[in-house]
Structure formats: C-alpha cells, structure tokens
Chains A and B, each alone.
Chain A
Amino acid sequence: MHSFGYRANALLTFAITILALMCGIASFSDNFNSPSPTAQVQVLNINWFQKKPDGDDEVSLTLNVSANLESLFTWNTKQVFVFLAAEYETPKNSMNQVSLWDGIISSKEHSKFRIHTTNKYRFVDQGSNLRGKDFNLTLHWHVMPKTGKMFVDNIVMSGFRLPKAYR
C-alpha cells in the first residue's frame, strides 16, 4: 500500500472480488422465488393436414396461446424464452418434440399475453404417424438471468388429437 499503483491495484482486485460475490448472491436469491405460471392453449382449427410427397405427415394448426408468466420475473431476470412444442409418441421414437411457436419476453409487463397464431414453425413428422394421433402441447420456458443460473421448466397440456384423415 506504499505507492499509488499498489493502492489502485489492491482496490481494484478487492472491488471486483466483491462484485463477483454480489452477483453470486443475486443469483442465489432467485431460489427464494417460487413461480406459479399458468398457460392455456386452444387448437382453434386444423387448417390442413396432408402427406408430403416424400411421405412425411405435415399439419397446419391455428392456435390460441394465453399465458401468465409474471411470477417468473425477479430482479435478476434479463429475459424469458418461451416455446410451444407438440410432443407425441411414435413406434420408432418414444419422444417426438416439434416446436410450433416461440417468443422472447423481455420484461414483466409483457409476460401476460394472449396470442392468436398459426404455427410459426412447420409441424412435420418423421414418417406418417400423425393420423388420429394424441399429442401434448407443452409450453417450455427458459428464465435467463442477468447473472448466474438459468432456470428451465414447462407446463404440459394434454388431450389434443389430430383427425383420422388427411384434409
């Protein structure tokens, strides 16, 4: 501590150590938040449902997604990434997951939303297994923090079924 340079160095290292500690505690404080998000999805219409020339099934849906994700936001939340996935089982794969819609929520004010949309990404099966198929629509979210650990969770909504015939 006997010269300007030594004092500046000591202060800087100590300040940055404490900053890292603060960020660590801020990340830890997210564990005290117990979120209770809600979500509903309605399939309003099956726009079309057909077999592509290469043999894979493809379906187009009109969806109504409403969700309240306000409780996911804490002081350490930068943004929340949400995506809606269709999940179903086929003889070949025990878990098929097709992303139909996604979005980035950048603030708590926008985290209670209702969206009326057709599927943003194509709902294509690997094969021809979709006729009469029961499937779940699952809303997944990734809570991206300003510092520290990312939280991942989802809500499963079951009881959806595709028609038995192409249309």
Chain B
Amino acid sequence: MDWQGQKLAEQLMQLMLVLFAAVGFITGYVLGSFQTMLLIYAAGVVLTSLITIPNWPCFNRHPLNWLEPSVAEKYPKPQPSANSGPKKKASKK
C-alpha cells in the first residue's frame, strides 16, 4: 500500500464507521429496536474491514518512484550540519 493508499484507507475507514454508526443509531431509535442498531453497525464494521484492511489494488495507484542507485551516487549525500552535534550534547545535560 502506497502513501496515498494509506491516507485513502484511513479516511475511508473513519467515514464508513461513523456513517454506519449514525444510520444504525437512527434506524434503531426510530424502530425502537436496540438489536437493529447493533446488527447494522456490526454489518458496517465487517464491510469496512473487508474494504479497508486488505491491500486492494486501488490503494496502490501511486507507487513511489525511487532513483536508480547509479543516479543516486551522482549526488552528494546530505551531511549532518556542524552545529547539530554540540547542541545535542548540550541538551542531554
């Protein structure tokens, strides 16, 4: 699952659960049946699990394009700046 896919899966999970909870609660309250609320919500949780937990292809539409090693070697690696060392030590004290 790529970065975009993770974001999509999380948002979809939260939206679906809240939506099923709201629908279940209203239906249960109107029908006067606590059991109906629980059944609708349970069905919603199962459906949400099936949609957002497995690594479906639709969550992998934005793959990361890493540089080839040969290309990466042409550019200098980022060096830790000179100031950061002493600062860290000072903060530890």
Interface residues, chain A, CB within 8 Å of chain B? 1-2, 4, 7-8, 10-11, 14-15, 18-19, 21-22, 25-26, 29, 74-76, 146
Task: Kindly list chain B residues whose C-beta atoms are within 8 Å of the C-beta of A21.
Answer: 21
Could you give 10 example pairs across A and B, Cβ below 8 Å?
Answer: A1-B1, A1-B6, A4-B54, A8-B49, A10-B10, A11-B17, A14-B13, A18-B41, A22-B24, A75-B32
| Cβ contact of A146, chosen from B10, B13, B31, B34, cutoff 8 A | B34
The CA-CA distance from A8 to B46 in the complex, in Å, is 11
User: When A and B form their complex, which 5 residue pairs have the shortest distance between CB atoms, in order from nearest?
Assistant: A1-B6, A75-B32, A7-B53, A18-B21, A15-B45
Chain B residues near A18: list those with CB within 8 A: 17-18, 21, 41
Taking Cβ atoms with an 8 Å cutoff, the residues of B that contact A are 1, 6-7, 9-10, 13-14, 17-18, 21, 24-25, 28-29, 31-34, 37, 41, 45, 48-49, 52-55
Bound Cα distance from A146 to B38, whole angstroms: 12
* A18 nearest in chain B by CB position: B21
- The answer to whether A11 and B29 have CB atoms under 8 Å apart is no
- Bound state CA distance, A74 and B37, in angstroms? 14
Chain A residues contacting B53 (CB-CB under 8 Å) are 4, 7-8, 11
What residues of A have a CB within 8 angstroms of the CB of B21 in the complex?
18-19, 21-22
A107 to B60 alpha-carbon distance, docked (Å): 52
User: What CA separation (Å) do A22 and B48 show in the bound complex?
Assistant: 18
Interchain CB contact under 8 A, B33 and A26: no
Q: Are B45 and A29 in contact (CB under 8 A)?
A: no
CA distance A7 to B5 in the complex (A): 12
B25, A26: Cβ atoms closer than 8 Å:
yes
Nearest chain A CB to B43 CB, angstrom units: 12
**A74 neighbours in B (Cβ, 8 Å):** 32
